[in-house]
Amino acid sequence: MEERLSELESEGFWSDSIKEIVLEFEVPHRTAVSWERNIGGIEVLKEAFGRNDSDNYLELIRQREWIPHERENREEEWVQPLKRWCTKRAEGVYLVHESELEDFRDQHGPTGMQYMRFDSGWMAVALMDDAQTRREDTGIRGSNWTEEMAALREELEQKEEWVKYEMRRIDSEWIGLTRELREVEKKLIEIYQDHLDDNDKEFEYKKDEIIELKRSFPYLRANADLVVSATNSSYSYVNKFKYIPNEGVAERGVKGKLRDEVLERDGNACVSCGSEDSLQVHHIIPRNQGGENVKDNLATLCVDCHYYAHGGGALSDDGSYTVALWDSVEYDDQVAFWDEWIHQSFEERAPKGFTRANFELKE
């Protein structure tokens, strides 16, 4: 418990709203991020979870959120020596935790840096003065830093996979946590199934069960896997139903006549780049931000432009590419989308599925 409290009190790079959720509900930071995005802010969460404060439910939720965190910490104990060993072999590359990055910058002055992120907040850091110098003295990996960092990542991924496999097979602490997680999830699923069985309403279709669970248990809006188990449904079907402010839980997709009308209006082509391949219908204002499922709030985009519309592919400060959040927007409103956003150039952005290593090697 002391370790959990220490985690709760850590500052990190979290917003005040996330820290508030963390301290109120005693959950990891990444849980708070997911809850804020999928359920709402602190007041919404208090009201939502207040309805479910029975049968030790909230404590089961906390356990389910903390156990994966504790398992990852255990994995990191096994993998960290490997990371240090591999990084040390790459001359001039430093293994730095994100919490120590500012001190590292102060130590090395204004020199630019090249990053490669690992799991659990660790990163390999090379000083740009060194990174720009071709290295003739070592043939361990590559002739320049781009190739060397890409090769280092590949080496680590291969070795980490083997170390984690062995750890999960023999480490008693990790095995115990896994068993505990299964028991917790079993109890939660029983609560959800009992709710469906006790409900006065008869559910004619599977979708009615899914909507009822997501409506009654806000936690499930961020945890589709439990709904899948409780209703014996597929992930793709469960994810069709999302909570929408002022509407409740509803099917979020655009299909049938409405989809055809949007595609026809937009000339069966992406309104941003003009592609006629892999077309999707985009909600200009996301459904969970109050956007309606009507033609004026819809636009035809290809799969890559749809990814960009939700913030994906942009180069972040740490040198990695952002991943799209499908409930976020980069423009202010519908007018900004039509007048500004669709005219942007995305030549410098990586499409969905691209990694920084792919991009650098391509150059």
Q: What is the pLDDT of residues 220-245, one digit of tens each?
A: 888 889 999 999 988 888 887 776 65
% of residues, the chain, pLDDT over 70: 77
Is pLDDT at 337 greater than 70 in this prediction? yes
Region of poorest pLDDT, from 5-14, 71-80, 205-214:
5-14
pTM of this prediction?
0.60
- 5-9, 121-125, 254-258: least confidently modelled range: 5-9
Query: Who contacts 81 (Cβ-Cβ below 8 Å, separation ≥6)?
Result: none
Q: Are 18 and 33 in contact (CB under 8 A)?
A: yes
Report the pLDDT value the prediction gives residue 229, as an integer from 0 to 100.
92
Q: For residue 12, is pLDDT > 60? A: no
Q: Which of 12-26, 229-243, 252-266 has the lowest mean pLDDT?
A: 252-266
Of 3-17, 78-92, 251-265, 313-327, the poorest mean pLDDT is in 3-17
Q: How confident is the model at residue 117 (pLDDT cuts 50, 70, 90)?
A: confident
Please, are residues 307 and 313 in contact by the beta-carbon 8 Å criterion? yes
Three-class DSSP category at 237: helix
Say yes or no to pLDDT of 290 above 90: no
Predicted confidence at residue 126, as pLDDT, reads 75
First to last CA, the chain: 49
DSSP H helical ranges for 303-345: 303-309, 334-339
Is residue 66 scored above 90 in pLDDT?
yes
Average of per-residue pLDDT across 94-113: 76
Q: Which residues contact 331 (CB under 8 A, 6 or more apart)?
A: 337, 340, 341
**Nearby residues of 150 by Cβ (< 8 Å), 6 or more positions away:** 142, 357, 360, 361
- Lowest mean pLDDT of 123-132, 177-186, 220-229, 297-306, name the range: 123-132
